[in-house]
Structure 1
């Protein structure tokens, strides 16, 4: 009998030595990393076949894993992957080898040749799959039915979208075990990022355990078990300073599907929250540390933006940095996007109150959400033309009633933001003030340049990089290197010619011909008087007159950027006007200084009306004179070169 027991014991030791020495049992790759578990001092780490604090995997089948630690203590761990960021598991007690029954070892048979079962992972060289499965099942059968279900949450995981049914805004009541807090009402709403939600709890004076607090929920995982929908996330608030306080589990269920006359307005959900960083005890939404009953805000309870603002659906500022988009579901939400080279900022606005509304003007209070920060501001929308609006936006406040107060909105000082309906909605319009003008100064903000002009400049740079030719003497940049070879008389003539060309170059930069509605009734054209290089063309999309100033909203034909051209007649000269162009509509009553991205030009009078060609010959003669002067300079240069050679 003694010899038989010794044989069995030796067999067990021999079997387990092979069983743990070489294994292909590896945890799923997506589990690699650090995980938080409530009550554990250190994060639990998965790496290959190792689960820290539990040991190394030596065999597995499905969600069952047999682990052995450095003390040769073995246990079964059953791991359920609820989400890529959430694992839950049960485990058996740790058993040392001498406590293992002999019957389990006897059934283990060592065999070197067998067909591997793809569902079973173990020592493929030495372990019989059937025997290994019995050993794994033995340890897993030691897990009691009421064993604790532990939850692990992946640390530094990427947020996921919060559940669609909870997207939007809800009013809710809540209960922490001391009664329902119903008045004042609490609110929950989605942030502009679909991975976050804001919970605004109100304190009820007559209910113990209630408090006024704002908590931000970042969703990390969602899944469904039967009729219960689960969320795991982190809560950010003043008292959350550790993972133990930040991680929370939620379960929600739909409790009212009434689709009567109010439609989705009557849909209600019950949301239960765990009291610690686990999902223990959250089998349904009726049990939890804090139970909330959510009721969606219906569209009928809100005011709305004017119809003429909502119909185009997409608006953008003239420089393209700012866009306003009407939500596709037409739920009264406007999505605002501000884009800069290194930043993209998104906001959401909904109407809360209409203070004044006419056919072309609406003064309203909107609630604006940026990220998870929410406030109220005064918004004034002016309808300037079919596809042109202007906005005045007040400062953000925490109270609705303060939004349009003078401290936060001053109609005489608040700047205007000009919006143009996005193409193809914004059709071209007939330009006002048709005619041909003499323009002194540029037409176009500094950030704009036509493709033709860019090519002209790039071509000039390339030209100067090449080896000098005889024609390069006409270039001011290269003429100096040749002048010292010229006869004094020829040098004087050459300098005089350069001064003449310099005047032309100055005219190219300063004096231009402005044509409005001449080649086409919706086109504004700008032509230099010395050359066709640098022509600018704009398409008109709307206009209006305000305090004797005509504003034209146009889009640059090349870059598609928008500009506002303000045309203000002179009060002292009936044939002159001041023209200001920029990415917003300048009003001198609001600022004495010309803002950035605005340029001033002077209109000195009407040269001719569209269709009148009386001045064409003057321009042609001027161009011919310049050409003759240029050829004369070339001939003189060649003659001088011949003298030098002789």
Structure 2
């Protein structure tokens, strides 16, 4: 079915309108002097015919002039490309407008914090989309940021992250109005000044230059070569100590000590940069402390080469400006690795375990075979001190006196140290007072073997050993250090308060309260009657094993006391050494699940009629030294503490100020605090000695026997 001529006419009109709109939007007919094609059948250049098909009528054109057709085709192609260009430009402008009006631009999270820039009085803060000294970010692309301040000034800031602690940036100059990001960034010249921002209170990094160096330096008045200066590592691998020497023939040199904390380093081209905090008596502000360095290796192969040399240039202010090579700077240094000196070695039995820890648990002593050094490390991982063996004064199979070169922080010196092998997994150290010269370390003024306190060390993962002094005893007091006693009392008081809290019940009237407490008293009285009846039964019906009967009664009382954890440590209790297990020491009765007075033995030795036992708490795994000192007869004094009890060391161990010590064993230059308790112990017998056990139980329970006999006698009189 054919379409109506009216519909065909409407389609022709739409084509005319489309042709007119394109012509008026892009080109002018007069400008190109090209006749407008007509859709009439009388056109000289084009004929429009109606062709019929199954789909209906269609318009087709027939060219009368081939050149006119080509011109029209070229015109259509040009129009299409120009239209695409205009559309692209419009979209780009719209995109920039959208970016400028948005608030979604934000700086990376890792940049947030407080920053210092030389010449800027206040701290610079980066947070979210705000750079405090420049304004708010409204658009970004890569490392380019479009910022606007409160005055409406727009600027492009290009920020480079050299390190997590160092940012450098360039920026467009002047105050611009509403401009695009690309336009403003293109206005930054290639030689624009590069500003540096240093993070305030950053996390230090490991210094790229490690080890000991000797160096010469030049501050523009000549090179100071003699005497030579020295650079050493501190205990932390993020700090270096530079000892500058003054040269009499070179002006501008002085004898001073500077400490450098490394904050960042990066490579830019062939140059390596280092930023650090310099601490010395002239440095009073961030302007004085932040410094930039550029360095390069000038000889030697490999990082740890013995003959390695470096050239290092330092900036004169808190910027990296002007540091283009290691040859130009405020101060030029030539570093040469210090020659490796022959050193002595620590005892083989001490190096074997490689890892020791103090009984207090406040320090680990770790031997490093790579350089033969001993590191004293806190449980947190912080290295408190480092020691190297310098000279051996005397040595046997179990003892060695040596002078060590020790470093604590950035302070170093020489110290006299005694090493004692007490058992396979037990060692002790005595450490003297630091001295500036090696020959002064072991003098009487700096080291007194009779007064210097001991630090007791236990190897990591020590094997258990059979406990000495096997047997069972009567003990009055604690078998735990005083620090554990205070913790035990706190726990006991908390439990007592909870127990009392459960007993304090709110009542609406006094009658109910009286009834409650009357019931409590009745229960207590009934419990006492049952206990008395049990004892009477034991006395009236003698058993073949009286010891076992009394042991059962004692176990019943122990269980009863355990429920409330109300043990009186001032009364006699039982101390078992190697009875239940030959490697275990324990005191009974004890609170339920309370292993504070249960230990495993790991080593022992004898010294001046005193037996020292090194053991571990069964639950906490903390170490303790138990000193067994006989007095007279079957009486013994037992000391339990974080250090071993020695009468001659009482004053030092009790808290005297000591200036020696490079470790964390309680002697690192402050007040030594030890925790020790003394208990009175009576020897009863060997484990399994039944006859002696009977005597012990009758002695400990004589008051109970007398009470029972009195009750029986009273009952007979009443009858």
Secondary structure of the 1:589 match is helix
Instruction: Report matched runs for 1:45-64 at 5 Å.
Output: 60-64=140-144
1:153 aligns with 2:202: no
Question: Are 1:292 and 2:344 an aligned pair?
Answer: no
Which residues of 2 match residues 258-407 of structure 1 at below 5 A? Answer: 258=301, 264-296=305-337, 301-327=342-368, 330-337=370-377, 346-407=384-445
Q: Shift of the alpha carbon at 1:396?
A: 3.3
Number of equivalences: 552
Residues 368-421 of structure 1: per-residue CA shift (max 9 Å, x gap): 333334444322221111111111122234444433332222222111121111
How far the C-alpha of 1:279 sits from its partner, in A, is 0.8
- Pick one of 231, 235, 238 that aligns with 2:278: 235
Structural mapping, 1:220-619, within 5 Å? 220-258=263-301, 264-296=305-337, 301-327=342-368, 330-337=370-377, 346-422=384-460, 424=461, 426-448=462-484, 465-466=502-503, 468=520, 470-473=522-525, 509-527=570-588, 536-570=597-631, 573=632, 575-591=634-650, 595=654, 597-605=675-683, 607-618=684-695
Q: Return the alpha-carbon distance in structure 2 between the equivalents of residues 444 and 510 of structure 1.
A: 16
Q: 1:32 to 1:258 in 2, by over 3 A?
A: closer
Correspondence for 2:206 among 151, 157, 162: 162
**Pair 141,600 (structure 1): closer, same or farther in 2 beyond 3 Å:** closer
Instruction: Classify 1:67/1:401 alpha carbon distance in 2 versus 1 (closer, same or farther; 3 Å).
Output: same
Residue deviations 1:133-164 (CA, integer Å, cap 9, x gap): xx65555444443333232323x24233133x
Structure 1 CA distance, aligned partners of 2:277 and 2:466?
Answer: 56
Measured in 2, the distance between the counterparts of 1:440 and 1:77 equals 77
| Two-structure CA RMSD over aligned residues (Å) | 4.7
Take 2:282 and 2:636, find their aligned partners in 1: how far apart are those partners? 64
Look up the SS of the partner of 2:267 in the other structure. Answer: strand
Per-residue deviation, residues 614-643 of structure 1 (Å, max 9, x unmatched)? 2344456679988899999999xxxxxxxx
* Structure 2 unaligned residues grouped into runs of 5+: 1-92, 504-515, 529-556, 655-673, 713-719
The CA deviation string for residues 36-70 of structure 1, in whole angstroms up to 9 with x for no partner, is 33344555555666656656666554334456667
**Are positions 1:171 and 2:214 aligned together?**
yes
Counterpart-to-counterpart distance in 2, 1:226 and 1:24: 37
The normalised TM-score by structure 2 is 0.64
Q: In terms of mean alpha carbon deviation, does 360-369 or 455-464 score higher?
A: 455-464
Once the two structures are superposed, residues 99-153 of structure 1 have per-residue CA deviations (whole angstroms, 9 ceiling, x without a partner) of: xxxxxxxxxxxxxxxxxxxxxxxx9xxxxxxxx7xx6555544444333323232
Partners of 2:476 and 2:569 within 8 A in 1: no
Normalising to structure 1: TM-score of the pair?
Answer: 0.71
For residues 361 and 416 of structure 2, the distance between their equivalents in structure 1, rounded to whole angstroms, comes to: 23
The 1:548/1:175 distance shift into structure 2, 3 A limit, reads same
C-alpha distance in structure 1 between counterparts of 2:635 and 2:652, whole Å: 21
Whole-angstrom distance in 2 between the partners of 1:228 and 1:149:
17
Cα offset for 1:315?
1.8
SS in 1 for 2:647: coil
Counterpart in the other structure of 1:88? 168
- Asked if 1 retains the 8 angstrom alpha-carbon contact of 2:100 and 2:139, the reply is no
Task: Return the index of the structure with the highest Cα Rg.
Answer: 2
Partner of 2:430, secondary structure, is: strand
Partner of 2:22: none
Structure 1 residues 319 and 94: alpha-carbon distance in aligned structure 2, compared to 1, 3 A threshold: closer
Pair 1:628–1:52, CA change in 2 (3 A) = closer
Following superposition, the deviation at residue 512 of structure 1 comes to: 3.7
In 2: Cα distance, 1:575 partner to 1:225 partner: 79
Structure 2 Cα separation of the partners of residues 599 and 57 of structure 1: 66
CA–CA distance in structure 2, aligned partners of residues 579 and 591 of structure 1: 15
The answer to whether the 8 A contact 2:452-2:652 is kept is no
Alpha-carbon distance in structure 2 between the residues aligned to 1:71 and 1:532: 71
Which structure shows the bigger proportion of residues in helix conformation? Answer: 2
Cα offsets for 1:398-456 (capped at 9, x unmatched): 4444333322222221111211112x1x1122333333444454433223369999999
Tell me if the contact between 1:608 and 1:614 (Cα under 8 Å) persists in the aligned partners. no
Cα pair 2:435 2:441 within 8 Å, conserved: yes
SS across alignment from 1:160: coil
Report how far residue 513 of structure 1 moved. 3.9
Structure 1 residues 6-54: Cα deviation after superposition (integer angstroms, max 9, x where no partner): xxxxxxxx99x97997355845244555543334455555566665665
* Matching residue of 1:101: none
| CA distance in structure 1 between the partners assigned to 2:701 and 2:117 by the alignment | 87
| Counterpart contact for 2:236–2:383, Cα < 8 Å | no
Kindly indicate whether the alpha-carbon contact (under 8 Å) linking 2:477 and 2:569 is maintained by their aligned counterparts in 1. no
Separation in structure 2 between the aligned mates of residue 186 and residue 406 of structure 1, nearest angstrom = 32
- Residue 78 of structure 1 corresponds to which residue in structure 2? 158
Contact 1:324–1:335 (8 Å) recurs in 2? yes
Give the structure 2 partner of residue 28 of structure 1: 107
1:565, 1:581 within 8 Å by CA — same for their partners in 2? Answer: yes
Distance change >3 Å, CA 27–CA 230, structure 1 → 2 = farther
Give the 3 Å change call, closer, same or farther, for CA 79–381 of structure 1 in structure 2. Answer: same
Contiguous gaps of at least 5 residues in structure 1: 1-13, 98-122, 124-131, 477-500, 636-646
CA deviation after TM superposition for structure 1 residue 461, in Å:
6.4
